[in-house]
Amino acid sequence: MDGAVAQEASLSKTDAEKITTELVAKHAEKVRESRSAEMKAKVIELDGKSMPFFYKVFGEKPKDGRSLFISMHGGGGAPKQVNDSQWENQKRLYQPKEGIYFVPRAPTDTWNLWHQGHIDDFYDRIIENLIVLEDLNPNKVYIMGYSAGGDGVYQLAPRMADRLAAAAMMAGHPNEAKPLGLRNIGFTAHCGALDAGFKRNEVILEWGKQLAELQKNDPEGYKHHVEVHKGRGHWMNLEDKVAVPWMAKFTRDPFPKKIVWYQDDRTHDRFYWLALPKGDAKKGQEIVVSRDGQVITVEKTDGVESLIVRLNDSMLDLDKPVKILIGEKVLFEGKVERQKAVIEKTLEERGDPASVYCAEIEVKL
């Protein structure tokens, strides 16, 4: 099947857990050997682009691992020295009570420096590295950004929501981004009431209305806090720092009961426990899928012909039949076999031991 692995010997639950543990340990060793140098040098090179970075660790390490706050500087379409200065400023702006405060320097000096397609790949790598090298808890990853960095949060948070627990936007503009993908994370936005540049102070209120409407129609999702700071312009005099402890209250659920997946212009093949066959992801696709016990319901599939549903024993009982529905139509009914190849593939994709799957089924829509 295109996008799904060929049949192989079925694993028991115990076998799958043992193999997962072994593969996670092997993957960690590979990361230590191949990535320690770039973390020591504090610069990552990917596809001809470089992302220098600074980070500082705060507080005692929790038993379940550290938190990560990726903090994006302002600037944008400006000379290199201006963006360098903004990067230096961002290093000092916020201090989490606990966690890794990670401040990357954008690989480009363009106006859209934080939401070009390569940023997703850099952040995937950073998260993967820190899971191993700084004992990061992958369920406690947060992104934040000021001005042009806030532009980046508006765009990155919905399309990378499955990597995040929460996000905080400061003084940015969403451009064409939509909030649909934020269903399962916390999202907070801050702007000065006098910050009229690009109508930031108006657009933030519009996003607040959109989030409120989404939450009204889906009360279990879209937890958000939008705040406009009176008397403040583009600089909020650090009143926005309340966003840091607000985010820290959230922990990612890697296997949410409901997924809303909207493809931005930077598409992804995977989002939580859903995936698309290679080459099928296209801008504007919208997929809504929910699960209840052993039943998975496809609620919406705009522009999608095939869908891969990934499963593990944290989500349901793989020793019992699984049913996948679209409306009244049964797309699949039966047992889904645990397979080593699925464990290997889903670990290799992300290097995220908290979102590994052992079974998958592709359904034609």
Do 74 and 202 lie in one domain? The reply is yes
**Is 174 within a domain?**
yes
| Residue 185 and residue 95 share a domain | yes
Query: What pLDDT score does 270 carry?
Result: 98
Whether residue 145 is predicted with pLDDT greater than 80 in this model: the reply is yes
Domain check: are 54 and 201 in the same one?
yes
Compute the distance between CA of residue 363 and CA of residue 365 in angstroms, rounded to an integer: 6
Grade residue 4 by pLDDT with cuts at 50, 70 and 90: very low
Q: Residue 52 class from Cβ within 10 Å (0-12 exposed, 13-18 middle, 19+ buried)? A: middle
Residue 352 confidence class, pLDDT cut points 50, 70, 90: very high
Cα 288-291-297 angle, rounded to 5 deg: 55
Predicted confidence (pLDDT) per residue in 38-65, tens digit: 999 999 999 999 999 999 999 999 999 9
Q: Per the domain annotation, does 19 fall within a domain? A: no
- Do 178 and 327 fall into the same domain? no
- Asked if residue 174 has pLDDT above 90, the reply is yes
Same domain for 200 and 128: yes
Task: Name the token pair of 286.
Answer: 């919208």
pLDDT at 55: 98
299-328 confidence digits (pLDDT tens)? 999 999 999 999 999 999 999 999 999 999
pLDDT at 7: 52
**Residue 2 has what pLDDT?**
42
For 182-305, strand residue ranges (E) read 186-192, 224-229, 258-262, 270-271, 274-275, 286-292, 295-302
Cβ 193 vs Cβ 231: under 8 Å: yes
Strand partners for 290? 258, 297
Domain final position from 248, 279, 307? 248
- Residue 37, domain member (yes or no): no
Domain count for the chain:
2
- For the residues 13-38, what does the mean pLDDT come to? 97
Checking if the pLDDT of 118 tops 80, the result is yes
- Checking 275-280 for CB contacts under 8 A at 24+ apart, the result is 275/3, 275/307, 275/308, 275/310, 275/360, 276/3, 276/304, 276/306, 276/307, 276/308, 277/2, 277/3, 277/306, 277/308, 277/362, 278/2, 278/3, 280/3, 280/304, 280/305, 280/306
Instruction: Please tell me whether residues 268 and 236 are part of one structural domain.
Output: no
Q: Which of 105, 149, 166, 100 is nearest to 129 (CA)?
A: 100
Q: How confident is the model at residue 9, as a pLDDT?
A: 73
| Residue that finishes a domain, picked among 248, 269, 288 | 248
Residue 60 is predicted with a pLDDT of: 97
CB 179 within 8 A of CB 214: yes
Q: How confident is the model at residue 1 (pLDDT cuts 50, 70, 90)?
A: very low
pTM of the model: 0.96
Same domain, 167 and 231: yes
Helix axes 148-159, 118-133, angle to 10 degrees: 80
**Whole-angstrom distance, CA of residue 224 vs CA of residue 88:** 29
Q: Which domain-ending residue is among 196, 220, 248?
A: 248
Question: What does pLDDT average to over the chain?
Answer: 96
Nearest to 116 by CA among 79, 155, 66: 155
Range of the domain at 350: 258-364
Query: Taking 50 as the threshold, does the pLDDT of residue 6 lie above it?
Result: no
Predicted confidence (pLDDT) per residue in 214-225, tens digit: 999 999 999 999
